[in-house]
Chains A and B, each alone.
Chain A
Amino acid sequence: MSHWLITPVVLPAMLAAILVLMVREHIVVQRALSMAGALALTAISIGLFWQASDGTITLYQLGNWPAPFGIVLVADRLSTLMVLLTTLMAPLVLLYVMGSGWDTRGRHFHPLFQFQLMGIIGAFLTGDAFNLFVFFEVLLIASYGLMIHAGGKARLRAGTQYVLYNLLGSTLFLFALGTIYAKTGTLNLADLALRVAELDPGASAGIRVAAVLLLLVFAIKAALLPLHFWLPDSYAEAPAPVAALFAIMTKVGAYGIIRVYTLVFPPDLEITQGLFDTWLLPAALLTLGLGMIGVLGAARIDRLVAFSAIGSMGLLLSAVAVFTPGGIAAALYYAVHSTFATAALFLLVDQIKSRRGDTGPLLVHGRPIEGGALVAGMFFVAAIAMTGLPPLSGFLGKLLILDAATASPLVWWVWTVVLLGSLVALVGFSRAGSLIFWKAHQLEPDGPGGPVDPETAPEVEDTTAQPETTAAPLAPRPVLPMIAIGGLIALLIALTAFAGPVNRALNATAAQLFAPAPYIELVLNTPGKVIKKDTHAEEDDHDAAAEATGEEH
């Protein structure tokens, strides 16, 4: 059994421990180790992705215990794709962090970042529902620390809400898992798939409740209406690189929905009929609508981007809710795209905030942005990607989703909301871009920064208590942040240029998800360690001996 599969989980965990215990006072060493770890993760996950790309599913039994008794990690096409997505983002986000000095504004940024990576990657790889919960908690507790990194009144307030909301989500997750265990007696996903299929549809109230509860848990993560309330404040107030990394966290929710509802509660299962057509699809469309209205109504650029992230999750989930192989493939393409686009926009917003001086993130007339051409150009490209205009990948993703939606009975609703939503988002982003980059020049430069017109300045609760938004305006600008954003945009362009091969791979991924028999077969029929049971009295000794040999494999 190869141990490569567990390295993306173990490596960040060990690295985080080293970072916090041995080198916590040395920011340069921390940066070097953190970056080296992130790059190693990228290399490993490219390897894993390559391994899974011919349809091979790899199994790793922790402690060599066979499923369903032990915990297993499973790497199929979907898992490795999501891991690769995470680890492609991580070095770029770290590059931004180093360039902009975010890690010097508080303590322990890098260890928390590594723990966050461990949680996200673990959640993608695990094949056990309770282990999924544990990795959710790992990524959440790291995200709590990252969310309030560098402190500040507004950030702490938003952080409190974020933590409380997610605590409730975790409680709900446990209730769902308890119900599932009470009804089936297992928490291994492959084993669950078999046992749920065998349940009597006439006496399935418990498992139906569990299926809906689990959907709610993932919907909280994925910011699905009406469970999205945590997102706008958290993302807008979180440090920019953290918000960029959080772009992958909403995808963890989407991954959970795709994984559990293709494997355990597949679409043709009688007891969960109607869950997607009746509930998920309308909720996803409402989420999309709400996100786009939020984009139009936002008074601050950071909240605008946060709402566009909600809208993109709505679009993604409406493709998931169609629940055909085509829909899942389209959703995955859009997931990859929107992760990069959202991350690039959050990082750009940070650049805008710090370069604008005292108007900060407000969508009002301000003074021209220093080095504005580059920032404006990148914002333009990222906004095109986010709103889904040609020629970038957002457009292709949207096209794939519209095409996949023809399989749904609600196709006209999907088309109407998606197309109107695009228009609204376009107006919202154009307004923001014009106000920040173009109209800035029309202002009389009377004094540093120029006054904010009290009549047009919208009511904003708190733009203060963020010293980083008012960095010295004439300090030389570091190059690394722009390289990081450029890297994300380059990934978007690559996703557009190689849309054909990517789409073929994603179609294969969706096909693998809709034929889960090899997955289940591999997980349940791989032998693990064998405990010989010769005589009753010596049982304990044999246990210990078998365990010792098992560890050595």
Chain B
Amino acid sequence: MELLIASAVGALTAAGIYLVLRLRTFPVIIGTSLLSYAVNVFLFASGRLALDAPPVLRDGAERYTDPLPQALVLTAIVISFGMTAVVVIIALGSWLSSDDDLVDRPALPDGDGHSPSLPEGDAR
């Protein structure tokens, strides 16, 4: 069980970091999602792994699992889900307004960003 969880966290983190270092927004967003999955599993495991044990008081329970990491991970899931939604929308807006989905800013002016209020010669 420990080995399974640990290797899952490791694999998700490795894949996430690889994807985050990509050039375009889509793989980067997938990468951040994978990283957030990794951290959620990690948080879940931070209260030690206990199988078949209830988290809240119950009659006849022999032992309990730590309820706090479950509450933490619930918060973390909600927040990372919301954040992922926000970044998808912003990345989409960026893609639609600039015709490319690169994460980095272009090193040189690409010539397609002329504002209508600027004279052509000055739009650099």
Contacts and interface: CB of A to CB of B under 8 A. Distances in A.
Interface of A: 130, 134, 137, 140-141, 144, 148, 151-154, 156-161, 163-164, 167-168, 170-171, 174-175, 177-179, 181-182, 187, 233, 358-359, 449, 451-452, 457, 459-467, 470, 539
Nearest to B91: A160
Interface of B: 20, 25, 28-29, 32, 35-36, 38-40, 42-43, 45-48, 57, 68-69, 72, 75-76, 79-80, 82-84, 86-87, 90-91, 93-94, 97-98, 103-109, 113-115, 117-119, 121-124
A457 B25 CA distance: 31
Contact of B122 (A130, A181, A452): A452
The 3 closest A-B pairs by CB, nearest first: A464-B115, A156-B94, A182-B46
Given A163-B90, A164-B32, A470-B117, A153 B97 contact: yes
A181 B114 CA distance: 52
Nearest to B104: A161
A358 B119 contact: yes
Given A177-B43, A178-B46, A461-B105, A160 B90 contact: yes
Given A141-B86, A148-B90, A167-B32, 13 more contacts: A137-B83, A156-B90, A159-B94, A160-B90, A160-B91, A163-B86, A164-B103, A171-B32, A175-B39, A181-B43, A181-B47, A464-B123, A539-B57
A178 B94 contact: no
A76 B4 CA distance: 44
Nearest to A147: B90
Contacts of B72: 130, 177-178, 181, 187
Nearest to A183: B46
10 contacts: A130-B75, A144-B87, A156-B98, A159-B90, A167-B32, A167-B36, A181-B68, A464-B113, A464-B115, A465-B113
Contact of B118 (A130, A140, A170, A358): A358
A171 B39 contact: yes
A141 B80 CA distance: 11
Contacts of A181: 43, 46-47, 68-69, 72
A470 B35 contact: no
B105 A158 contact: yes
Contacts of A159: 90, 94
Given A160-B25, A177-B43, A177-B72, A461 B106 contact: yes
A167 B86 CA distance: 10
A215 B16 CA distance: 22
Contacts of B117: 467, 470
Contact of A461 (B20, B48, B68, B107): B107
Contacts of B69: 178, 181
Contact of A178 (B39, B103, B114): B39
B105 A144 contact: no
Contact of A174 (B29, B39, B115): B39
Contacts of A460: 109, 124
Nearest to A182: B46
Contacts, number: 144
A174 B94 CA distance: 28
B43 A464 contact: no
A462 B79 contact: no
B43 A157 contact: no
Contact of A465 (B20, B35, B97): B97
Nearest to A448: B119
Contacts of B35: 168, 171
Contacts of B79: 134, 137, 170
A414 B48 CA distance: 45
Nearest to B102: A157
A534 B82 CA distance: 43
A164 B109 CA distance: 23
Contact of A156 (B32, B48, B97): B97
B121 A160 contact: no
Given A459-B108, A467-B115, A153 B68 contact: no
Nearest to A447: B119
A463 B98 contact: no
B82 A163 contact: no
A170 B77 CA distance: 12
Question: Max chain A CB contacts within 10 Å: which of B69, B107, B115?
Answer: B115
B115 A465 contact: yes
A140 B80 CA distance: 12
Contacts of B107: 461
A52 B25 CA distance: 47
Given A358-B118, A459-B109, A464-B115, A171 B36 contact: yes
A167 to B, nearest CB: 5
Question: Max chain B CB contacts within 10 Å: which of A151, A161, A449?
Answer: A161
A320 B68 CA distance: 33
B118 A470 contact: yes
Nearest to A358: B122
Nearest to A466: B115
A353 B87 CA distance: 29
Given A151-B97, A181-B69, A461-B106, A174 B121 contact: no
A170 to B, nearest CB: 7
B94 A167 contact: no
Question: Max chain A CB contacts within 10 Å: which of B42, B114, B124?
Answer: B124
B90 A178 contact: no
A160 B95 CA distance: 10
B93 A148 contact: yes
A460 B118 CA distance: 15
A495 to B, nearest CB: 36
A26 to B, nearest CB: 26
